Amino acid sequence: MTTTPLLRSPTVAGQSGQTVHTLRNIGISAHVDAGKTTLTERILFYTGRIHRIGEVHDRDGRGATMDSTKAEKAHGITIKSAATRVSWRDHAITIIDTPGHADFTIEVERSLRVLDGAVFVFSAVEGVQAQSIAVDRQMRRHGVPRLAFINKMDRVGARPDAVVRDIRDQLGVLAVPVQIPIGIETEFTGVVDLLELRAIRFGGEHGEVLESIELPDHLVAAAQAAREQLVDVVSRHDDALLEAALSGEPVSASDLRAAIRRATIALRIVPVLFGSAFRNKGVQPLLDAVVDYLPDPSQVRNVATALRPDGTEVPVELHTKEDLPVCAFVFKLDEGRFGSLGYVRVYQGTLERGATLWCPRTGRRLRVGRLLRLHPDDPTPIDAAHAGEIVGLFGGACESGDTLCGFDARTGEPLSLSVAGFEVPEPVVSRTIEPKRDADLDALAKALARFTREDPSLRVGRDAESGQTLISGTGVLQLEIYAERLADEHDLEVRLGAPQVAYRETVTAPVEFDHLHRKQSGGGTGQYAGVRGWLRPTGELDTALRFTETIRSGTIPRAYLQACEQGAREALEAGPLVGAPVVGVGVELVEGKTHPVDSSDLAFHLATRDAVREAVKAAQPRLLEPIMRVEVDVPSAFGGIGGSLLRRRGSILGSEAHGERITVVALVPLSEMFDYATDLASLTGGRGAHSMTMHGYAEVPAQAAAAIIERMRA
């Protein structure tokens, strides 16, 4: 038997002998309660970054390292993504622990935008859950290679084989186990490494001692069969391994490892590993897999856009080299009492303390004040950050989504590059908010302005009926957390109104419009613009407007077309039913009228706005509501769960039993779910749980729509 001691690096990651090839930038993502923060805590311990393991629900209030805010410790969930850096096998790994709750999906979105790889965590009991599907869409959108870690193998009801099938079937990815577990539930003791055909067990007080032993006799046949299947699957996606496999010679572990890496980076496969983070099993092999299978920054293609003098944009490939002008991207801001901390990904060049950068959005220079190696509550000052690194920039006058550029060494001119941003989810819930003391009105406005700089998914507006301040976001919990933060961080006690659904409107019939806007008094320049065209439904409910023109006779000069589009967009900001934004609309201009003196941008803007507003009223408008994908997990002894969802206008997608519990999946309107937690607790004696993720918008049934419209117009 060979015993491998805990691998601890004697140096701080990134301080000595680091190259871009020994960097990894990864995220830990999962559905809420899958165990990703517990996993991250073990990673910090095994890499020597911390020396005491904290737990999410520690009674002493210490909590997990990455859940550092008061709200996170109180609720026992990750709310804000947090970054740290560790060292493993002489590789520096930047880790971003992201929230699993759907209300904080913006944190996952902007983190995945800058990461090179990810560890996707699944519960061995629950498998693929609602937020798992949402996170998978985000990973696909940003082309992020990932590993799958099936956690909680020690739990009663663990079903690893079924979870692998779920990943393949529900997410549509080729999940390929590179290990097989040794036992399940209480008998889970370790894993078999299929590449080396060795058994790995975890000893010591905290699983810090790895025991690599020869396979027990009862595992040999299963391990060899699983390895053959692994070689067969990977060779279909890697020509070099296929050639080696067809040669008739045994495939070496190193050849197989290299092939898995190539196929993973190419997004053809997802290697699957097993463990129990809470029981300190399987974490070190996962770290090995991060080093072995996920890409370094130089293996990921990153593209920015450059603005030419004539106004056209051209793609520019960024290169992970230190001697090029800087191009960095600010993907997150933390607004603290002492200023803003920007989370920055350096794509190109070297970012140095004291250097001057250019922000194309503002057209201004900014000076790099302090650079920090990120870690919750304990960042480390550094002098420079190199291409491929993720660091903190303290005090820079920038915003989330900004690109920061260096200067051309030959001309001294700043680069004018823009790195594509990230999708910001539209708000689906609103609540009025007011301070309990009138004297705090200004302080509340300033605090909310700080929060909106920090979180692009949080919107602040004004309620049209009451005149009260209105905050809108992706979920009720998100808004409640911000109310708590106002009390904790700003000493502001506030009152929140009842949740309000963010409805949308759409059109269902094509309408032709022909409108002339004319204001001519004869005493000077007037306004004259005519527009004729069609308004049609597109069915694209995630897009407000698709604007086209088929003007062949030049009756609307091209110089006015942008004003026409802006006018159409303004018309769709508030629909005729309840004043909600109108989506899924196509506007086609076919003809117009102009005046040699009185036509202008303003005239065509107003003409198109008024024409589209009237056309929407005639196009059989319909009310849309946000639909949530709801997963309800209850003990199988409790019935009536499906009925409780059907009574809320839900439609059942299916149910699945796993162990002594059952999961029911349904699509339910958000407006019907605000008090569901109380209903579920009553049905199950507090033993049930539910989660929701945004599924999309759908038309409100006629009877319900009439009641909503009457209520909102009253």
Q: How far is CA 29 from CA 39, 147, 261, 390, 693, in A?
A: 11, 10, 20, 18, 15
Residue with tokens 């059109």: 507
In terms of domains, do 277 and 132 share one?
A: yes
In terms of domains, do 679 and 615 share one?
A: no
Asked if 90 and 78 touch (Cβ cutoff 8 Å), the reply is no
What's the rounded Cα separation, in Å, for the pair 300 and 691?
A: 34
Secondary structure of the chain: what % helix, strand, coil (to 5)? 30, 35, 40
In terms of domains, do 164 and 30 share one?
A: yes
Considering only 461-465, 490-494, 572-576, which range has the smallest mean pLDDT?
Answer: 461-465
As given in the structure block, the two tokens for residue 473 are 């976001």
CA 105 remoteness from chain centre: 5
CA proximity to 404, closest of 432, 375, 435, 364: 364
Number of domains in the chain: 5
Residue with tokens 């929407």: 616
309: domain CATH number is 2.40.30.10
What's the rounded Cα separation, in Å, for the pair 307 and 401?
A: 17
- Quickly list H helices, 55-191: 70-75, 105-112, 130-142, 160-171
Residue 11 lies in a domain: no
DSSP string, 393-449: EES-S--TT-EEE-B-TTT-PBP-EEE---PPPPP-EEEEEEESSGGGHHHHHHHHH
Residue 13 lies in a domain: no
Strands (E), 98-178: 117-123, 146-151, 175-177
Q: What share of the chain has pLDDT > 90, as a percent?
A: 70
Q: How many CB atoms lie within 10 A of CB 197?
A: 16
Give the mean pLDDT of the chain. 90
> pLDDT, tens digit, for every residue of 652-689?
999 888 777 788 999 999 999 988 888 888 888 888 88
What's the rounded Cα separation, in Å, for the pair 249 and 270?
A: 26
Asked if 133 and 171 touch (Cβ cutoff 8 Å), the reply is yes
> pLDDT, tens digit, for every residue of 118-153?
999 999 998 998 889 999 999 999 999 999 999 999
Residue that wins the pLDDT comparison between 76 and 566:
566
Residue with tokens 């496969």: 269
> pLDDT, tens digit, for every residue of 516-534?
999 876 666 789 999 999 9
In terms of domains, do 615 and 636 share one?
A: no
In terms of domains, do 479 and 545 share one?
A: no
Asked if 608 and 601 touch (Cβ cutoff 8 Å), the reply is no
In terms of domains, do 392 and 455 share one?
A: no
In terms of domains, do 546 and 591 share one?
A: yes
What is the rounded radius of gyration, in angstroms, for the C-alpha atoms of the chain?
28
Q: Are strands 117-123 and 23-30 parallel, antiparallel or unpaired?
A: parallel
486: domain CATH number is 3.30.70.870
> pLDDT, tens digit, for every residue of 536-553?
999 999 889 999 999 887
Residue 5 lies in a domain: no
In terms of domains, do 126 and 247 share one?
A: yes
As given in the structure block, the two tokens for residue 678 are 């109380």
CA proximity to 24, closest of 399, 309, 290, 394: 290
As given in the structure block, the two tokens for residue 269 are 């496969």
Q: How far is CA 694 from CA 77, 506, 557, 684, 691, in A?
A: 19, 19, 42, 25, 10
Asked if residue 88 has pLDDT above 90, the reply is: yes
pTM: 0.85
Residue 166 lies in a domain: yes
Q: How many CB atoms lie within 10 A of CB 56?
A: 20
Length of the chain: 714
In terms of domains, do 186 and 279 share one?
A: yes
In terms of domains, do 295 and 306 share one?
A: no
589: domain CATH number is 3.30.230.10
In terms of domains, do 55 and 190 share one?
A: yes
Q: How many CB atoms lie within 10 A of CB 646?
A: 13
Q: Please say which residue of 268, 299, 330 terminates a domain.
A: 299
Residue 12 lies in a domain: no
Asked if 9 and 92 touch (Cβ cutoff 8 Å), the reply is no
Q: Which domain holds residue 256?
A: 24-299
Residue 283 lies in a domain: yes
670: left (phi over 0), alpha (psi -120 to 50) or beta: alpha
Q: Please say which residue of 445, 465, 498 terminates a domain.
A: 498
Asked if residue 5 has pLDDT above 50, the reply is: no
Q: How many CB atoms lie within 10 A of CB 218?
A: 8
> pLDDT, tens digit, for every residue of 249-267?
889 999 999 999 999 999 9
What's the rounded Cα separation, in Å, for the pair 102 and 107?
A: 10
DSSP string, 631-686: EEEEETT---HHHHHHTTT-EEEEEEEETTEEEEEEEEEGGG-TTHHHHHHHHHTT
> pLDDT, tens digit, for every residue of 298-343?
999 999 998 777 767 899 999 999 999 999 999 999 886 657 899 9
Asked if 79 and 102 touch (Cβ cutoff 8 Å), the reply is no
Residue that wins the pLDDT comparison between 586 and 523:
586
What pLDDT shows up at residue 590?
Answer: 95
Asked if residue 7 has pLDDT above 70, the reply is: no
Q: Please say which residue of 598, 620, 642 terminates a domain.
A: 620
76: domain CATH number is 3.40.50.300
- With 0-12 / 13-18 / 19 or more C-beta atoms within 10 angstroms meaning exposed / middle / buried, residue 667 is middle
Q: How many CB atoms lie within 10 A of CB 196?
A: 14
In terms of domains, do 284 and 149 share one?
A: yes
Q: How many CB atoms lie within 10 A of CB 225?
A: 12
Provide mean pLDDT across the span 358-370. Answer: 91
Q: Are strands 270-274 and 146-151 parallel, antiparallel or unpaired?
A: parallel
What pLDDT shows up at residue 713?
Answer: 80
What's the rounded Cα separation, in Å, for the pair 303 and 204?
A: 46
3-state secondary structure (DSSP) of residue 577: coil
What's the rounded Cα separation, in Å, for the pair 141 and 331?
A: 16
Residue 697 lies in a domain: yes
DSSP string, 490-526: H---EEE---EE--EEE--S-EEEEEEEEE--SSS--
Residue 206 lies in a domain: yes
Provide mean pLDDT across the span 416-438. Answer: 91
